[in-house]
Structure 1
């Protein structure tokens, strides 16, 4: 998804579904993608996913994984950000409108959902960011969170190596550099 490889996704999704990835996990990966790639770039993947799932006899829509409401999503999002990134995230939403959207939508609407745990969500986010290129500050922040959650330097390096055919050498080299930087900074 990060590299916009819809044709490759059409091949890989049935393989994933046939090898233990369940439909809820697939949909959660898609929902997680929206905040990092934008709805316009993710919509073709929803179409393909729904077609493949329907062809496999999977009843759609799937059961909702939503855990927040419009009334508590900002508060829940802030708590999630603080839990993952640290106390410096307190009042992050007050620093601007995009910051608020990031807290209530990305962290309040998506990170709080069931279906994937924090480690999986952060690994997926790391992949999306690595595929984008030119987002090194965000990639570094998420590499540090990944390491803090147990997705250590060795694991993230393997993730990058698995994604190299999809994102290419330059972005892979940049991602490895960021992983090394994150690990070094966390050692201090």
Structure 2
């Protein structure tokens, strides 16, 4: 199939038999969009459709492009993702884009779930409590990043130690320890979220290394960032790829 046929087949798989509304007003633009995203990008690299739709979901949440996010919630269900996986991917955004934007995304997910008669709330995936969220979060940090976490905590000044504690207990304890998505998936999604925000190259590099440590190889990272391209544009995509190349050399 050429990219035109591929785009039609992929769009139907994701969204059904409908026609994008933009064809009525901007058909040339819609052709460019559909053929590039669904005829090329979706076929580039080694990701499956479930991974691609989770990546799309978190990047749209990071960008707060909520109408498109709502459409892709339906697509995530159509490719076989579970309500738990969808919710966990959106929850994973919170430490990086903040609670208000994450709640906006959650509201869109909930609207789709209600329309499809998916019962809310989704079953809890938490594995920590008030007594162990810091301890388990810190252990997860070390699992992902290694000894550098101890060095970061030792180097922190007294007036910034609370930030290190928040990273361990909140970011990693409250989110990374949850069930529903495995660690490799959470770390890959985090890389995409941070790359989409822009201006976070230091954190992107850290999470490139984290991805490497949890078993996501360079080709997977490049495939993931390539999939982000239609949603976040070339500048942020090229910045993220530059970070990947700087951290993981070609012979590694």
TM-score if structure 1 supplies the norm length? 0.94
In the alignment, structure 1 residue 118 sits paired with structure 2 residue 186: no
In the alignment, structure 1 residue 148 sits paired with structure 2 residue 208: no
Which 5+ residue runs of structure 1 have no aligned equivalent? none
Find the aligned partners of 2:225 and 2:169 in 1 and give their Cα distance. 29
What SS does structure 2 have at the residue aligned with 1:58?
coil
Change (3 A) 1:7 1:72: same
In the alignment, structure 1 residue 31 sits paired with structure 2 residue 91: yes
How many pairs were matched up?
Answer: 187
- Tell me the equivalent position of 1:45: 105
What SS does structure 1 have at the residue aligned with 2:246?
helix
Residues 103-182 of structure 1 aligned to structure 2 (within 5 Å) = 103-182=168-247
Runs of 4+ more than 4 Å apart:
91-94
Query: How much has 1:150 moved relative to structure 2?
Result: 2.2
- Tell me the equivalent position of 1:18: 78
Which 5+ residue runs of structure 2 have no aligned equivalent? 1-60
What SS does structure 2 have at the residue aligned with 1:67?
coil
CA contact (8 A) 2:226 2:237 kept: yes
Find the aligned partners of 2:130 and 2:224 in 1 and give their Cα distance. 35
Query: RMSD of the TM alignment (CA)?
Result: 1.6
Change (3 A) 1:91 1:73: farther
Find the aligned partners of 2:231 and 2:72 in 1 and give their Cα distance. 12
Query: How much has 1:59 moved relative to structure 2?
Result: 0.5
TM-score if structure 2 supplies the norm length? 0.71
- Tell me the equivalent position of 1:101: 166
